[in-house]
Structure 1
Amino acid sequence: MTAARRLIRSRLMGMTDQPESPSDPASPGEPRLRDRLSTRIVASSIVALLVVVSMVCWTLWLSWQLEGAGAAINDTGSLRMRANRVGIELLQRVPSYAARTRGLIATQDETLERLRHGVPARPLFLPQDSAIRDQFERVAQAWHSRMAVAAERVLAGDGSGAYMTELPQFVAEADTLVRMIEQDNASKTTLLRASQAVLLVISCAGTLAMIYLLYLWIIAPVLRLREGLSRMAEREFGVRLPVESRDEFGALAEGFNHMADELAGLYRDLEARVAGKTAQLAAQNRELETLYDMTAFLNQPGDIEALCGGFLQRVRRQFGADGASVRLIDPDGERLHLMVSDGLPDSLAHDEHCMAVESCFCGQATRQGMIAIRDLGRSEPGQAFHCSREGFPGLGVFRIVSGSSVLGSFSLHFRHSRVLLPAETQLLESLGQHLGVALENRRLGAEARQVAVVQERSLMAQGLHDSIAQGLNYLNLQVQMLEQSARAGALDDVRELVPRLRAGVEESYQDVRELLLNFRSRLEQGELLAGVEETIARFRRQTGIPVALDIAPQAGPPLPPEQQLQVLFILQEALSNVRKHAEASQVRVGLRNERDFTLSVQDNGRGYDPAEVAQRGEAHVGLHIMVERARRIHGELDVATAPGRGVHITLRLPEQARQAA
């Protein structure tokens, strides 16, 4: 189901992400410009924007008119008030009334001019109505022609009757103008409220219309598409979407239907493809199991023949071979030796026990690589092969390699034609590499054991030379002296030599026992401390010398058995030197297992002169044995001594030289 959803999503993305070609706007599957959903949305949005902007501008203009008309009402009312004040000034005639009167007249003239021309910045203007304009002109004419002239005559001393006579008429005209402006303002206020109501209705209706259009254009197609995807995810590959428009969703519906057709066709083959993939995975798992099983087997201890025999049995069982063999190249690289065969007749194994490399396919494969022959009898007309005569026409030969070295080849024999698949060929080549590595490891292990035996024999020879050989030489001299004394009848000399011989024999016997115990020492992981304590206890029994053992708490990992054994040998050799040469009365042994491993052996014996020992070269074999064992584990041996000050031997194994336990 998840795979089907991913496929549907990729199909839909492929349809919706197609770039629009400006040169071919009416290409198949792509909506025309006028039919596109984006065109309709943009057009409807522009229309709605124009309507809203127009209504807003209209209401702004009305409010601006109302504000200007309100200022005009205020200034028109001031005309009546100022005309009355002029009449009061003319009647009372208080001091400086003439100046105040002329100032009121000038202000009245300015007010009339403002009303006539308007002040947009304030704003102040009369409504654009002809009746109001006519009434304003009558008021202005009455002021300029009658009222202002009458006021000037009064100021000139002609009497005030004329001005007061004209005043009621002027005030009445001004009142009429104010009422007309107020009526016009009231009608505009009503119009403004009506416009706001219309704008509210348009907003609500436009919102509902946009919601409906968006549902019709976008939401409904998306819901249909989602329903189709859900049904498609439930493997209803017969679902189809109705194509109800020519916009993007119409193209999307057509693409969905096309995708559904393809997906239905693909799903019909899906089970077969899954079955094939499952079989392929099963084959790969079997190959991995074969590799794991073969690797585990090749890593087990055993000789080369058992290794090759077990290898052939597993390969035959895996590939159904009727016979198999392993051949190894001799050191000069000219001949092949049959190491192991399985399932082949004895006569075939006898005839091909040893052959030249170029005489058969088994040898040629070591030079050329893998050789697979389906029918051996037809491959070389006129040439007889032992395999073909014994009823094995099918043959597959693979090299046994380790790194860049070819060690030999192994062959699979079939009584019927057998075609090796590429995967089987690759697996057999990998098995040949595993066998080659295992054989090389066996060879290297044998060489390492041989080198270790040689080194250990060298150390044994040095130990025998240092102890047994010198003791026997001493006994030989004493026996010669005893023989001479016995012939001469010198019984006193005989009595003196016999205890020396007994002491020499006892010393040699102790040396032999100590060497035998040292050579038999074996340690497992974590047994170093027990071995050290046993060695010290044996030293105490042999010499009676007290030994102080100082072991620090273990803070580092344990040493591997090989390094533990060499450390124990060095301790045994150091204590043997104390017993033989030191004449000590006390020994101290220290053990520190931290980041570095440290072993120290210190005695209070007579010591020696290092320069003198260095001049003797190999005379002090015990010291050279300890140095050699320290080098074998990459350790450092330090000997501090002086005549009369004892010997302090320190073995240090640095952290970088420690092996994993």
Structure 2
Amino acid sequence: MITCTLWLSWRLEGAGAAINDTGSLRMRAQRIAVVLLQPAASSKQRRQDLQLQLDAVAHTLQGLAVGDAQRPLLLPSHEAIRTQFKAVESFWLQVALPAAEHANETGQSQTYLASLPRLAELTDTLVKMIEQDNASKTTVLRAAQGGLAVLAVLGTIAMIYLLYVWIIAPVHKLRDGLQSVARHNFSIRLPVETRDEFGVLATGYNQMADELEDLYKGLEQRVTEKTQQLATQNAEISILYDMAAFLNQPSDIETMSAGFLQRIVGLFDAQGASIRTLDRERQHLSLVASVGLSQALIEEEHCMHVHDCHCGSVAMPGKKLIVIRDVSQTTDFLSKGKSNDINCHREGFSSVAVFRISARENVLGTFSLHFTGPAELPDSGRRLLESLGSLLGVALENRRLEAQSRELAVVQERNLVAQGLHDSLAQGLNFLNLQLQLLEEAVVHQKQAEIDEILPLLRTGVQESYQDVRELLTNFRSKLERGDFIAALEDTVKRFRRQTSMQTALDVQYGQGAPLAPEQQLQVLFILQEALSNVRKHSEAQSVQVRVSNDRDFTMSVRDDGLGYDSAEVSERGDAHVGLRIMRERAARMNAHLELAATPGKGASVVLRLPVQERIAA
């Protein structure tokens, strides 16, 4: 109906334009008459004006005949109207137009003027017929609009009713159901009457009510179970925390392993336990600690192959733990020729649980629990024992790394000691050996002058060697405690003053920098001792200045006014120079920079710089 009203409106608009164009025919016909009645003196202008009016009439008739949908211009399609339009068009073409053209050529306009009343009559009749057609269409349009209003009212009423039935009523039911759930009444169920969204919501509500009803019925039991689970987990966390705290305490491996076994035996009510470490190359297990095992069993199993016992099978790839309820029935793992009488079974143990000791995916050994009755280990207990095995593995690995670190430190320090002996005492003894050979040759040949020359050299060499020994002993005994770094620096400088006649100044500016770690302080002290020793042996200086600055970076410098040296010559000799290699190695151990500078005849300097990013927290 909306489409019909739009079409009628479009037709009425086009018919209105047709009425306007038809009425304009009368006006243009009268203008033609006015043009024909103009004086003859202006005949040229009259002919131009006449042609314009004739063209306008022709264009209007053409538009009425064809129409224009864009304008719109539409002549009603009624047969009588079309016939009347043909009459108007025919009269114009056959009567009025020839008369106008004749009057234009001869100046006689009576014939055209006589045709005007008939043309006006035909045009008026066409206009009235179009108006009557428009009036009938207007009536139809009003009726259609009235029908639309009625349909709108009826449709609104129908939509309100359908919205209530389809949406509002189901929403109210769902609201009532949710209110009942909020009151902890889970017995109400919604009827599922449709398959639309509300049907899905009703189904979901019913499922929710069923699940909530089941949950509330067993809520107390579930709360109890969850509480027990949380208590178990908290107990496991507490056990792991206590065990980690114990394993991190300083102790040897045997003491740590024994304490570990005593704790897990009490936790799991085991009658015996043992820890064995793995030798990967020999594929042997060594018994480190045990609880509840007889001395005979300990002696027999202190070292055995991994295939000779249940404890070894866990150390092999593929298994992390085993729990055997009856050890007397499991002999298929034994090595060829091994007796089927299992040792732990002879001890009165019927069940055994073995777990792997590992650190960073490396198997370090196994630990086992022995029971006189059937072993009952839940999954949580097995997981806890696996975690304890990992903690024990990390602790064992840390102990081994600490031992290796101590061994490495001893090796490094021995290397420095050897370097110190070689660079100082060994060279002095070599010099004395050469001088003794020369002395022996001079005595044989009785060269008194050479003997007198060599003896002072021997005396000086012995004194220097003795002084080197005293310095080395002093360096080896150096040990710093927290807070005595400055005192150690002052003692080193005072000792240097006593050993030499050089004027030695110490300037310590500790600034706002953080204190050095004890191990870094010790390295700084060793470098200072070595630098002063080189000054005493080689510089022949009159004064020495030692400056220590502890700001953002730590800096220590030792400068003298002695003979100096040729830096290029020292660089060519490399690490063979006395003392320099030792200082460089000590500086490298603390990630510090060591700068050596000298000018022949103008002294030398040693500067040690420790950047702030290389400091170790004290």
Please say whether Structure 1 and Structure 2 have the same fold, judged by a TM-score greater than 0.5. yes
- Counterpart in 2 of 1:8? none
> Could you tell me which residue of structure 2 aligns to residue 372 of structure 1?
323
Residue in 2 that maps onto 1:56: 6
1:66 partnered with 2:13: no
Partner of 1:546, secondary structure, is strand
CA deviation after TM superposition for structure 1 residue 308, in Å: 0.9
Question: Would you say the 8 A contact 1:599–1:652 is kept in 2?
Answer: yes
In structure 2, the CA distance between the partners of 1:115 and 1:129, relative to structure 1 (3 Å rule), is farther
CA offset at residue 602 of structure 1? 1.8
Q: What is the aligned-residue RMSD (CA, Å)?
A: 6.0
Aligned residue pairs total 573
Distance 2:280 2:79 in 1: 130
Judged with a 3 Å threshold, the aligned counterparts in structure 2 of structure 1 residues 266 and 589 are, in CA distance, closer, same or farther, namely farther
Assess if the C-alpha contact under 8 Å between 1:66 and 1:189 holds in 2: no
Rounded to whole Å, the distance in 2 between the matches of 1:460 and 1:573 is 12
How far apart in 2 are the matches of 1:66 and 1:196? Answer: 20
Q: Paired residue for 2:519?
A: 562
User: How does 1:505-524 map onto structure 2 within 5 Å?
Assistant: 512=470, 515-516=473-474, 519-524=477-482
> Is 2:272–2:371's contact at 8 Å kept on the other side of the alignment?
yes
Matched, 1:602 2:559: yes
Tell me the distance in 2 between the aligned counterparts of 1:145 and 1:327.
Answer: 133
Which residue matches 1:439? 396
Change (3 A) 1:616 1:57: closer
1:306 Cα deviation (Å)? 1.9
Q: CA deviation at 1:574?
A: 1.9
Q: 2:504 aligns with which of 529, 543, 546?
A: 546
> For each residue in 1:191-216, what CA deviation from the matched residue of structure 2 results, as whole angstroms up to 9, or x when unmatched?
54554455455556556655654565
Q: In 2, Cα distance between the equivalents of 1:456 and 1:330?
A: 30
CA contact (8 A) 2:558 2:605 kept: yes
Name the SS for the 2:9 alignment partner: helix
Q: Does 2:266 align with 1:297?
A: no
- Report SS of the residue matched to 2:479: coil
Task: Tell me, in whole angstroms, the C-alpha distance in 1 between the residues paired with 2:166 and 2:93.
Answer: 70
> 2:537, 2:269 → 1: CA distance?
69
Residue type of the alignment partner of 1:252:
V
Counterpart position of 2:257: 308
The residue type equivalent to 1:356 in the other structure is M
Distance (Å, rounded) in 2 between the aligned partners of 1:616 and 1:124: 115
1:404 Cα offset (Å): 6.9
Distance 1:63 1:307 in 2: 108
Could you tell me which residue of structure 2 aligns to residue 256 of structure 1?
204
Deviations 1:313-334 (A, max 9, x none): 3322443323322234679847
Partner letter of residue 253 of structure 2?
I
2:15 and 2:130 in contact (8 A); partners too: no
Which one-letter code corresponds to 2:323 in the other structure?
A: A
Give the match for residue 39 of structure 1.
none
Question: Once the 2 structures are TM-superposed, how far is the Cα of residue 508 of structure 1 from its aligned partner?
Answer: 6.0
How far did residue 572 of structure 1 move?
1.9
Conservation of the 8 A alpha-carbon contact between 1:547 and 1:589: yes
Distance 1:169 1:300, change over 3 A: closer
Find the aligned partners of 1:178 and 1:360 in 2 and give their Cα distance.
124
- In the alignment, is residue 450 of structure 1 matched against residue 412 of structure 2? no
CA distance in 1, matches of 2:597, 2:55: 130
Q: CA deviation at 1:236?
A: 5.7
1:435 partner SS: helix
Q: Letter of the 2:507 partner, please give it.
A: L
| Compared CA separation, residues 138 and 530, structure 1 to 2 (3 A) | same
* Shift, 1:571, TM fit: 0.6
Q: Deviations over 1:432-476 (max 9, x none)?
A: 3432332233233224323433543565577678479979x99xx
Gap change, CA 1:563 and 1:157, over 3 Å in 2: closer
The equivalent residue for 2:451 is: none
User: Which secondary structure does the structure 1 equivalent of 2:530 belong to?
Assistant: helix
Does residue 397 of the first structure (1) align with residue 349 of the second (2)?
no
1:629 matched residue in structure 2: 586
Gaps of 5+ in 1: 1-50, 478-496
Read off the aligned partner of 1:424 and give its amino acid letter: G
Q: Deviations over 1:129-150 (max 9, x none)?
A: 7887898899999999999999
Say whether the 8 Å CA contact 1:69–1:124 is kept in structure 2. Answer: no
AA of the residue aligned to 1:248? D
After TM superposition, the structure 1 = structure 2 runs for residues 447-486 of structure 1, keeping only pairs within 5 Å, are: 447-457=404-414, 459=416, 466=424
Distance verdict in 2 for CA 1:120–1:210, change over 3 Å: farther
The offset of 1:63, in angstroms, is 2.8
The aligned counterpart of 1:36 is: none
Deviations 1:121-176 (A, max 9, x none): 37667666788789889999999999999999999999989998x99899778767
2:289 match: 340
- How far apart, in 1, do the equivalents of 2:340 and 2:63 lie? 133
Q: How far apart in 2 are the matches of 1:307 and 1:198?
A: 101
CA separation of 1:196/1:311 partners in 2, compared to 1, >3 Å: closer, same or farther?
A: same
Query: Within 5 A, what are the aligned runs for 1:138-149?
Result: none
SS at match of 1:325: strand
Q: Which moved more, 1:155-164 or 1:446-455?
A: 155-164
Q: What does residue range 491-510 of structure 1 map to in structure 2 within 5 Å?
A: none
1:76 and 1:542, CA in 2 relative to 1: closer, same or farther beyond 3 A?
same
Give the secondary structure class of the aligned counterpart of 2:503: coil
Q: Alpha-carbon deviations, 1:361-408, whole Å to 9, x = none?
A: 445554575442223455569965554455432322234345576544
Residue type at the aligned position of 1:372: V
* 1:589–1:600 Cα contact (<8 Å) kept: yes
CA distance in 1, matches of 2:570, 2:233: 68
Task: State how far apart, in whole Å, the 1-side matches of 2:100 and 2:408 are.
Answer: 146
Q: Deviations over 1:557-605 (max 9, x none)?
A: 7654323311211112222443455443221234567898654322113
User: Which amino acid in the other structure matches residue 204 of structure 2?
Assistant: F
Q: How much identity, in percent, do the aligned residues show? A: 44
1:120 aligns to what?
A: 67
Q: 2:370 — aligned with what? A: 413
Letter in 2 for 1:373: I
| Contact 1:462/1:621 (8 A) holds in 2 | no
8 Å contact from structure 1 (residues 132, 177) kept in 2: yes
Bigger CA drift: 440-449 or 612-621? Answer: 612-621
Which protein, 1 or 2, shows the higher relative CO under an 8 Å CA cutoff with sep ≥ 6? Answer: 1
Quote the Cα distance in structure 2 between the aligned partners of 1:334 and 1:659: 41
- Alignment equivalent of 1:320, drawn from 235, 246, 269: 269
Q: 1:572: which partner in 2?
A: 529
Tell me if the contact between 1:62 and 1:192 (Cα under 8 Å) persists in the aligned partners.
no
Alpha-carbon distance, 1:57 to partner: 1.6
**Could you tell me which amino acid in structure 1 is paired with residue 254 of structure 2?**
E
Quote the offset at 1:301 in angstroms: 1.4
Equivalent position of 2:446 in the other structure: none
2-side partners of 1:157 and 1:399: how far apart?
A: 134
